[in-house]
Amino acid sequence: MVTPGQPRRNTLDRRGFLARAGGAVGAGLVLGAPSIARAAGSPNDKIQLAIVGFGKQGRVLFEALSSVPDITRKVHFRAVCDIWDYNRKGGMAKCRALQKDQPDALPNGYVDIDEMLAKETGLDAAIVATPDFWHAPHTIRCLEAGLHVYCEKMMSNTIEGARSMVEAMERSGKLCQIGHQRRSNPRYRYTLEQLVRGHAICGQIVNINGQWNRSVNASRDIGYNPKLTIDEERLRRYGYDSMHQFMNWRTYRDLSGGPISDLGAHQIDIFNWFLGCRPKAVFATGGHSYFKDREHFDNVMTTFDYDTPQGEVRAFYQVLTTTSAGGGYYESFMGTEGTINISERAAFTNIYRESSAPSWDELIARGYLKRQAAPAPAGGGAGGGAIASYESEAPEAYQLPGELNLPPHQPHLVNFLDAVRGEAELTCDARHAFESEAPIYWVNPSAREKRRIELTSEHLDA
């Protein structure tokens, strides 16, 4: 991003970027100093991998890896660890089916991670996809056992837990990728590197909006077959009061950060990444508008204030669990010359040029953008009539090149595996993830206490 009036700086040409984006994108991060980003040397030709937690998110990550071409030549799924027999056995069956042509197709199954780490001495790496309050303990155990780790976000349900993960990564010298998968998404990387920075199409970014709206049906409590219930002793041993709590841990304060953490963390991370800095203050509000018996708010709205080299930026974010209307989930970077609405869903990704901005015809000709066939959805004379005195002229609508569509989690996992081999640098290691996540831990306190929180190094530093 440049100050309006400054010349645009050239960057990697579009074709070169797209060629690079087709594989694992290994560019450095924006926030903070370099951390541990690349393995010192390659492990065995085939990475020996464990999956810790094979619930919904564990299955999502497994399926993303399964669709990588020739994945069984690169990775052997050696162990599945989950306290629920249903998840563990299901995960083992999926691994066996994927590796059916190999003599050791069936991975070993474990209830307890300490038993797994004691017995599986040949592991190179682990994917941690357990509930948030287990992320730090499980990641630290794996790092201290000599494994590289891919851990889902948030890093922890507490900022102290997240800090401990950074310390463990740097103490162990092992890689630790955090699951902010947009950092490896070619659509996001292209937008940041080519459009926001390379050609500064937004001009000066002044405002950011973001949202994730979920319907009531998608937000209801998760049920289960009573015949598959985990026994009470095992539940208590692993931190759960009941099977209901095990299935719905995201709604409990001691186990998670609630919707702002579960959904908002992905997008607030993008605010910080695209701006290249952290906010100086947060003010939030929330309520139990529909799910009144839950510990966490079912809707949260928050604003962040940033100081950037180009000037002040205010970012608004909302997460709703009572409606899916309003365009689903996206982040919108609103500037003096253009606005970029970006999402993991191509359908929610659109770009708008202000009428006062320089022409984008050259970008169209060079393939950086393409014109949108349909007219802009809002703005002057939407009904075909004259523009009223209080309206702005409708902005022109554009789209990104179609080559940037890949499964959401796949590039981030591939980046991790390539880094384990020493062939790439992580796009989101634990230190950089912490720098971006830290402001999110202060949203719920702001909403509960109904006060603006000025964010200092005490709030934000690892």
- Percent of the chain topping pLDDT 70: 88
The DSSP-derived string for 95-132 is: HHHHTTTSTT-SPEEES-HHHHHHH-TT--EEEE-S-H
**Mutual orientation of helices 430-437 and 264-275 as an angle, nearest 10°?**
100
Kindly state the DSSP code that residue 429 receives in the 8-state scheme. B
Count Cβ atoms below 10 Å from residue 56 Cβ, excluding itself: 10
Q: Does residue 366 sit within a domain? A: yes
Interatomic CA distance for residues 370 and 357, integer angstroms: 17
- The predicted pLDDT at position 391 comes to 74
Interatomic CA distance for residues 320 and 328, integer angstroms: 10
Res 7 pLDDT > 80: no
Q: Which tokens in the block code for residue 41?
A: 């040397």
Confidence of residue 42 (pLDDT cuts 50, 70, 90): very low
Which of 193-197, 269-273, 402-406 bottoms out in mean pLDDT, i.e. has the lowest?
Answer: 402-406
pLDDT digits (tens, 9 = 90+) for 324-354: 988 789 999 999 999 999 999 988 999 999 9
Do residues 425 and 337 both lie within one domain?
Answer: no
Q: Does residue 2 sit within a domain? A: no
pLDDT digits (tens, 9 = 90+) for 279-292: 999 999 999 999 99
Confidence of residue 24 (pLDDT cuts 50, 70, 90): very low
- The predicted pLDDT at position 23 comes to 47
Q: Which residue has the tokens 């022109």?
A: 396
Do residues 335 and 370 both lie within one domain?
Answer: yes
Interatomic CA distance for residues 254 and 396, integer angstroms: 47
Look at 377 and 409; give whichever has higher pLDDT. Answer: 409
Do residues 237 and 374 both lie within one domain?
Answer: yes
Do residues 140 and 42 both lie within one domain?
Answer: yes
Res 268 pLDDT > 70: yes
Q: Residue 177, exposed/middle/buried by CB under 10 A (0-12, 13-18, 19+)?
A: buried
- Positive or negative torsion for Cα 443, 448, 450, 452: negative
Q: Does residue 1 sit within a domain? A: no
Residue type, 21: A
Average pLDDT over residues 265-288: 97
- Note the residue count of the chain: 462
Give the three-class secondary structure for 25: coil
Q: Does residue 3 sit within a domain? A: no
pLDDT digits (tens, 9 = 90+) for 127-160: 999 999 999 999 999 999 999 999 999 999 999 9
Do residues 146 and 212 both lie within one domain?
Answer: no
Q: Does residue 369 sit within a domain? A: yes
What phi and psi, each to the nearest 5 degrees, are found at residue 400? -80, 160
Confidence of residue 102 (pLDDT cuts 50, 70, 90): confident
CA distances from 241 to 57, 103, 279, 298 (A): 22, 41, 37, 22
Cis peptide, bond prior to residue 154, ω within 30 of zero: yes
Q: In this structure, are residues 343 and 322 in contact, taking their beta carbons and an 8 Å threshold?
A: no
The CATH number of residue 419's host domain is 3.40.50.720
Interatomic CA distance for residues 297 and 410, integer angstroms: 31
The DSSP-derived string for 260-285 is: HHHTHHHHHHHHHHHHTS--SEEEEE
Res 124 pLDDT > 80: yes
Do residues 399 and 416 both lie within one domain?
Answer: no
Q: Does residue 40 sit within a domain? A: yes
Do residues 244 and 169 both lie within one domain?
Answer: no
Do residues 72 and 212 both lie within one domain?
Answer: no
381 dihedral zone (left: phi>0; alpha: psi -120 to 50; beta): left
Q: Does residue 112 sit within a domain? A: yes
pLDDT digits (tens, 9 = 90+) for 225-255: 999 999 999 999 999 999 999 999 999 999 9
Do residues 200 and 289 both lie within one domain?
Answer: yes
The CATH number of residue 355's host domain is 3.30.360.10
Interatomic CA distance for residues 426 and 29, integer angstroms: 9
Res 192 pLDDT > 60: yes
Interatomic CA distance for residues 169 and 148, integer angstroms: 9
- The predicted pLDDT at position 34 comes to 47
Confidence of residue 32 (pLDDT cuts 50, 70, 90): very low
Interatomic CA distance for residues 374 and 346, integer angstroms: 15
- The predicted pLDDT at position 25 comes to 39
Interatomic CA distance for residues 194 and 176, integer angstroms: 27
Do residues 93 and 209 both lie within one domain?
Answer: no
- pTM for the complete prediction? 0.91
| Structural domain boundaries, residue 313 | 192-381+390-405+438-460
Interatomic CA distance for residues 431 and 170, integer angstroms: 9
Look at 367 and 405; give whichever has higher pLDDT. Answer: 367
Confidence of residue 385 (pLDDT cuts 50, 70, 90): low
Do residues 236 and 370 both lie within one domain?
Answer: yes
Q: Which residue has the tokens 């992320």?
A: 135
Q: Does residue 20 sit within a domain? A: no
Interatomic CA distance for residues 443 and 302, integer angstroms: 7
Q: In this structure, are residues 304 and 439 in contact, taking their beta carbons and an 8 Å threshold?
A: yes
What phi and psi, each to the nearest 5 degrees, are found at residue 287? -160, 165
Q: Which tokens in the block code for residue 145?
A: 């056992």
Res 411 pLDDT > 90: yes
**How many domains are there within the chain?**
2
Interatomic CA distance for residues 52 and 61, integer angstroms: 11
Do residues 175 and 197 both lie within one domain?
Answer: no
Res 30 pLDDT > 90: no
Residues 6+ apart with CB under 8 A from 369: 195, 351, 360, 363, 398, 399, 400, 401
